[in-house]
Structure 1
Amino acid sequence: MALSTLRTETDRFVDADGRQILLRGVNLGGDSKVPFPNGGTQYPGDFSNHREVSFVGRPFPLDEADQHLARLRHWGFNCIRLITTWEAIEYAGPGRYDREYLDYFEAICRKAGEFDLYVIVDFHQDVWSRATGGDGAPMWLFEATGLDYRAFDEADAAHVMQYRYDYDDAEARQAGYPQMSWHINYRLPANGIMWTLFWAGQIVTPEFLIDGVNVQTFLQGHFFGAVEQVALRVAGLAHVIGFDILNEPGMGWVGQPLSTIPSGAVVHGPVVTPLAALGMARGLPTPIRVKDTLSSEGAEQTFNRAARSIWREGVECPFERAGAYRVEDGRIEPLNDRVFDTVDGRPLDIANDVLAPFFAEAAQRIRQVRENWLVFCELDPFSVYTGARFPAAMPSNWVNANHWYDLSILVTKTFNPDVSIDVLTGDRIEGPVELRKRYILGLSLVKSLATASSGNVPTLIGEFGIPFDLNGGGAYADWAAGNKNAFELHAMALELMYEALDSLLLCSTQWNYSAGNRNDLRIGDQWNQEDLSIFSVDQIGNSRNLDAGGRAIEGFARPYARATQGVLKSQNFDRQSGQFLVEYHANPNIDAPTEIVLPAAQFGSDIAITCSDQASRYEVDATGNVVRIWASSSGLVRVACQRYRREEEKAALGTGTAVDQLPSIVHFAARIDS
């Protein structure tokens, strides 16, 4: 049966039948940030072919789509956050759209619907572009704005793996490109310049024109033009439910004083003021304090020792022309310290002055193509920790799509369930119970952003997950040696995260599934040595089993109520005992069943299900590992699903268990074939 469009109803997603829909999915995929087939950061390069690349084949070649999508469905997911980039669509030049890629992207979206997967189109970026250490924007934009990306590395204006990594060195981990260091680009000159022009060119550089329009209008106009190209292609696919309009947006220097770091800023690595960054961009050697940790004072280093300007010959810095600073006798002097944080003589409000018109424009652009699309919105992820909120005025049917990670796992690539240190606060967390509580607090903070505007809207945690190269990639060697439990530590970490998601009934899309991932510290997801993919080709072997290639499957292939005939109240899964409990308030006026997903990885083929007497009938979909239950009257419904895997487990269940303690129960046992 074809999936319907979804709408928002207070803090829930609702389908055409009126059922609450819980989205549990995955990002597809991490390697979609780079061109196909050899655009990954494991290959050296200088980006000189940026007008000749192709992203056709990301996330995977079309003839491989069935096997990958079937695997995701087998694991129980009902949603994908499908990655695309502005560069993938418009890499060749202004208005020169890659029609072959758009055909391909539409075909992948269509395929996802064949496997009953909702699609959220994610316009992805990290630290602006590949030439500035990440992905996202096409590189001809540097030429348009007067920058020479070929000078970025020498001027220390960007921290890019292809320039900092020694590909001839046998060591995968190198001091020149430390693990998880790409994010420092947000504070370096190239990112600061581009994001500031993108968000506030009209405010800060009103006389900077490109093709007769202000630079902000030029940049955002081309961005939304690329968005529209995708929207036109997928408008007829009901299961494409909306657009995550801009992944983890950097704000550049917008809202910051020119010559100081704002108090409370979360900084480690180079501590760069906008003024210092502008001096570096002009070719001035600049002393910068570099912090090894969030709490350290750091040591001073000189950046741009080469005295290389990143402005193209004959181009004047637009911020200097606008009166922000001047250069005298080889020194940069501030002229307007409030240039980035005031507008019309008052403090600039990022949420309402900058983001509100952007989100409004996003909604208008996609809804002129299809009016019922949802708009998934994100804030600068670092700003969430310092009190950032969404604008007071947001488009209708918007979704809070911010991200959450355990930063201690993400940054250090280690995990100890018994002892964890919060890298933001320094707090020591002892034991998995306390760690789960900390996860609930962190996710609750993200969820609270959904109430920033009038009313209440759904939250979808657009990204969360763990590195699979924990502890130096020890699991890879264990797996190669035949240890089938090599990823149990990873499963434990994911289990705690999903338990926190369940406690808050949050929708989520885990980061990520990369079809080209390798169990190799140098490669990983093919982007900056990140390795968060739940799949790796190195774990397929010769098996035709759909689980082949999966990493820590028991941690993420979990049961959940994907559709509820009413309002979902709670769900809880105990992996050790194999029991899944669901409670919901039934609405018999909804003429469609509650659907509970019971992945084969957790439940095998023998399952006992008990349900309170509100349920009049049920059916089992053995092919999809789904139980459907129709409630006959309103009221609280309780459902318990119990895994049987061994004869001794059946005998141990006996009487007096949680299953049998449900009031007024009707027992039915069902076999579901894996």
Structure 2
Amino acid sequence: MALPRLQIEGEWFEGEDGRTHILRGVNLGGDCKVPFTPNGYTNIPTDFSDHRTVSFIGRPFPLAEAAEHLGRLKAWGFNCVRLLTTWEAVEHAGPGNYDEAYLDYFATICRMADEHGLYVFIDFHQDVWSRMTGGDGAPGWTFETVGLDFTKFHAAGAAHVMQYKYDFARGGRQEDRYPTMTWSQNYRYPANALMWTFFFAGKAFCPDFMVEGRNVQDFLQDHYLGAMEAVAHRVKGLPNVLGFDSLNEPGSGYVEKHMSYRHVGPSELDRSGPQPGLAWSPIDGLAVARGLSRDIPNFRVDKAAGKIVRMDDERVNAAEVSIWLKGAECPFERAGAYRVKDGGVEVVDEFFFMKRSGHVVSMERDFMSPFFHRVADRVRGIDPDWLLFAEVDPWRLGHGFPKETPRGTVNASHWYDVGTLVTKEFRIPETPEQMQAREDSYTRNLAFIKSLGSSLNEGLGAPTLIGEFGIPFDLDHAAAYKAWAEGDRSSKPWEEHVVALDLMYNAMDALLISSTQWNYTASNRNDQAVGDGWNQEDLSIYSADQGGSANDINSGGRALEGFVRPYARTTAGRPLKMKFKRETGAFRYVYEATREGETEIFVPRLQYPKGFTVEVEGGSAVRDDANQRLLVRADMPGKVGVSITPIR
């Protein structure tokens, strides 16, 4: 039976029959950031010279393996996937040259997801612009078209790229050469900052910079949106495809940045503390790109002290390598932001990226809002019912969404426990009070993110779907992997992971919000050099190294007790309260019945291996144990309560 199309009604996802849907899913998958052929894992050497001939067919998995993985996701109770692709996957061969075979493959994955009862929203993923700048996303030719030479980025210190930092002969985790999560610092490096400024604000800051007869901003956005349209045409008509993510975790480049400002601590311009890594100012980045050296303040995390501390300044680009191609020039220099003089650099306009023609610019109002409208217009030209899953720069999340956004927009912001993510450590709270305090902290953080959606859809509000959250599974120097290798198949090595995920899902249950956990990577390995295949991240809920049992649907799963849990998938009315107590197995759901029809609750065998009992106030229930679900009908309009208790 085809999945019902979903639309928005205030803060809820609503089906064609008026029932409310809570989406619980997973990002599929972490290795979609890199090519399948040749294998683009970041622990494999490359100079990216083959960027036009790569193929992403096989990401997230070969078609022959798709039924196994999609069946596993369904068995674990997920009802949607945030399906990753990249601009590079579609248009790597050159501007306007789409990979038709990949598009066919991608559409087949979407159809197979439908056959397994999974909704899909399509994420054109990126991290720090591209693989050549330490992440993933944009094709390599985007640099050539704007006059940049990505082969010079490392030598100039203009990007922080694992493949150039990593000692491949040594292998393993290398905190000394490529510390955990340092890829994200690339947003501040010049190669990234230039590209994001061109992409979002080229018309404002370099209006005379033309590429093939168009301003650089229009050129880049037109090609990005063209790749999105190519995918959209392939999946048109599939009822399980909900819509498109606007762009994963976009950067802001130099927009709103004071030309000489280095953020080394709280100030009137930025009241937050310093961030780990180099404290780049725009003029630092522009100078380094031009081939000048700069001494830049540097910070690191001092775990023992529990704070970020300043180190000695770092000299960047001591070899004075320019990243501009021969004959190319910096358009911001030409536009009057700065000038090179006497072997150095001189700021001409301190407020160049803050004001234009007397107008104080706003990243959200002036650049994100028009971009959201462009994305929505382009994909809705193919299917007018598709939803826009909107994201803003995660470093600017406190600014919220722009006031003017398209109708049919979902708050798809991300959230992580940053401390756990960066340190790869999670300590289980020692007392019930401490446990509750941690959960309350998560709930407050997520409640703030949920509140951002109230301004969307012309002030009518929007559903919140946390597009990413999760934990590293290589906590404590991969202690769980070592226990697995030694033959320990108990749940004990995964206790920290289970508790962390349980607290996160408890917070989302309390707020009745949807989510897609990061991530499910079919090729994941219990190897600290590999993990999800990208920048030594390892957040996959599945590992091929823990699989191997064809008769066990849970084979390969990690810390299942933390995320395979009961929840109300669809409600014939409006949800009011949802609570699962993992320690006791007790589940409670309360909703306001407003219409006829069934309320469906996922009840996993994993949490109730010996069965369960059900009590319903204001209605009746029918068990469908084969499909791990409970179907509830209200006796009449009004409040209905459902309690599930495990049989011990």
How would you bin the TM-score normalised by the shorter chain? over 0.9
1:576 to 583, 586, 595: 583
- 1:147-203 CA-to-partner distances (Å, cap 9, x unmatched) read 000000010100000000000014422411111110010000100000000010000
Q: Is the 8 A contact 2:171 2:529 kept in 1?
A: no
Q: Which runs of 5+ in 2 are unaligned?
A: 263-268, 302-306
Q: Secondary structure at the match of 2:154?
A: coil
Q: Give the equivalent residue in structure 2 for 1:35.
A: 35
Q: d(CA) in 1 for partners of 2:291 and 2:573?
A: 62
Measure how far apart 1:83 and its partner are. Answer: 0.3
Q: Give the equivalent residue in structure 1 for 2:570.
A: 563
Q: Which amino acid aligns with 1:438?
A: S
Q: Which amino acid aligns with 1:202?
A: K
* 1:479 and 2:484 are equivalent in the alignment: yes
Q: TM-score, normalised by structure 1?
A: 0.92
* 1:631 and 2:634 are equivalent in the alignment: yes
Q: d(CA) in 2 for partners of 1:204 and 1:348?
A: 11
Q: Is the 8 A contact 2:466 2:516 kept in 1?
A: yes
Q: Which amino acid aligns with 2:343?
A: G
- 1:116-166 CA-to-partner distances (Å, cap 9, x unmatched) read 001010110000000000000000010000000000001010000000000
Q: Give the equivalent residue in structure 2 for 1:399.
A: 410
- 1:550-581 CA-to-partner distances (Å, cap 9, x unmatched) read 00000010110000010000111111211111
* 1:308 and 2:321 are equivalent in the alignment: yes
Q: Is the 8 A contact 1:417 1:431 kept in 2?
A: no
- 1:323-372 CA-to-partner distances (Å, cap 9, x unmatched) read 11001111111111111111331210211111111001111001010001
Q: Which amino acid aligns with 2:388?
A: V
Q: Secondary structure at the match of 2:394?
A: coil
Measure how far apart 1:620 and its partner are. Answer: 2.3
Q: Is the 8 A contact 2:621 2:630 kept in 1?
A: yes
2:369 to 351, 356, 359: 356
Q: Secondary structure at the match of 1:237?
A: coil
Q: Give the equivalent residue in structure 2 for 1:413.
A: 424
Alignment of 1:20-31 (within 5 A): 20-31=20-31
* 1:606 and 2:611 are equivalent in the alignment: yes
Q: Give the equivalent residue in structure 2 for 1:522.
A: 529
Q: Is the 8 A contact 1:417 1:435 kept in 2?
A: no
Q: d(CA) in 2 for partners of 1:522 and 1:419?
A: 32
Q: Secondary structure at the match of 2:36?
A: coil
Alignment of 1:40-51 (within 5 A): 40-51=41-52
Q: d(CA) in 2 for partners of 1:101 and 1:580?
A: 43
Measure how far apart 1:482 and its partner are. Answer: 2.3
Q: Give the equivalent residue in structure 2 for 1:220.
A: 221
Q: Is the 8 A contact 2:172 2:528 kept in 1?
A: no
* 1:507 and 2:514 are equivalent in the alignment: yes
Q: Secondary structure at the match of 2:577?
A: strand
* 1:622 and 2:635 are equivalent in the alignment: no
- 1:625-647 CA-to-partner distances (Å, cap 9, x unmatched) read 01111213111100011122xxx
Alignment of 1:147-158 (within 5 A): 147-158=148-159
Alignment of 1:278-317 (within 5 A): 278-293=286-301, 295-317=308-330
Q: Secondary structure at the match of 2:163?
A: helix
Q: d(CA) in 2 for partners of 1:468 and 1:251?
A: 30
Q: Is the 8 A contact 1:165 1:174 kept in 2?
A: no
- 1:235-272 CA-to-partner distances (Å, cap 9, x unmatched) read 11011011111000111111111111442356221000
Q: Give the equivalent residue in structure 1 for 2:304.
A: none
- 1:371-418 CA-to-partner distances (Å, cap 9, x unmatched) read 01010001111112xx31111111001001000000000000001022
Q: Is the 8 A contact 1:257 1:338 kept in 2?
A: yes
Q: Give the equivalent residue in structure 2 for 1:655.
A: none
Using the aligned pairs only, state the percent identity: 49
Q: d(CA) in 2 for partners of 1:482 and 1:302?
A: 48
Q: Is the 8 A contact 1:4 1:15 kept in 2?
A: yes
Q: Which amino acid aligns with 1:133?
A: G
Q: Which amino acid aligns with 1:418?
A: P
Q: d(CA) in 2 for partners of 1:402 and 1:27?
A: 14
Q: Secondary structure at the match of 2:67?
A: helix
Q: Give the equivalent residue in structure 2 for 1:490.
A: 497
Q: Which amino acid aligns with 2:408?
A: N
Q: Is the 8 A contact 1:610 1:641 kept in 2?
A: yes
Q: Secondary structure at the match of 2:607?
A: helix
Q: TM-score, normalised by structure 2?
A: 0.96
Q: Secondary structure at the match of 1:142?
A: helix
Q: d(CA) in 2 for partners of 1:194 and 1:619?
A: 56
Q: d(CA) in 2 for partners of 1:309 and 1:170?
A: 31
Q: Give the equivalent residue in structure 2 for 1:664.
A: none
Q: Is the 8 A contact 2:172 2:527 kept in 1?
A: no
Q: Which amino acid aligns with 1:269?
A: G
Q: Give the equivalent residue in structure 2 for 1:6.
A: 6
Q: d(CA) in 1 for partners of 2:171 and 2:520?
A: 27
Cα RMSD after superposing both structures: 1.4
Measure how far apart 1:92 and its partner are. Answer: 0.3
Q: Which amino acid aligns with 2:621?
A: Y
1:377 to 383, 390, 398: 390
2:549 to 527, 542, 545: 542
Measure how far apart 1:319 and its partner are. Answer: 0.8
Measure how far apart 1:543 and its partner are. Answer: 4.5
* 1:269 and 2:277 are equivalent in the alignment: yes
Q: Secondary structure at the match of 1:573?
A: strand
Q: d(CA) in 2 for partners of 1:170 and 1:392?
A: 48
Count how many residue pairs are aligned between Structure 1 and Structure 2.
631
Q: Give the equivalent residue in structure 1 for 2:359.
A: 346
CA 1:13–1:515 in 2, change beyond 3 Å: closer, same or farther? same
Q: Which runs of 5+ in 1 are unaligned?
A: 421-428, 650-674
Q: Give the equivalent residue in structure 2 for 1:640.
A: 643
Q: d(CA) in 2 for partners of 1:439 and 1:343?
A: 40
Q: d(CA) in 2 for partners of 1:212 and 1:585?
A: 57
Q: Is the 8 A contact 2:56 2:102 kept in 1?
A: yes
Q: Is the 8 A contact 1:173 1:521 kept in 2?
A: no
Which runs of 4 or more aligned residues in structure 1 lie more than 4 Å from their structure 2 counterparts after TM superposition? none
Q: Which amino acid aligns with 1:88?
A: A
Measure how far apart 1:481 and its partner are. Answer: 1.8
Measure how far apart 1:542 and its partner are. Answer: 3.5
Q: Which amino acid aligns with 2:325?
A: R
Q: Give the equivalent residue in structure 2 for 1:423.
A: none
Measure how far apart 1:313 and its partner are. Answer: 0.9
Q: Secondary structure at the match of 2:218?
A: helix
Q: Give the equivalent residue in structure 2 for 1:17.
A: 17
Q: Give the equivalent residue in structure 1 for 2:181.
A: 180
Q: Secondary structure at the match of 2:285?
A: helix
Q: Which amino acid aligns with 1:459?
A: T
Q: Which amino acid aligns with 1:603?
A: Y
CA 1:600–1:179 in 2, change beyond 3 Å: closer, same or farther? same
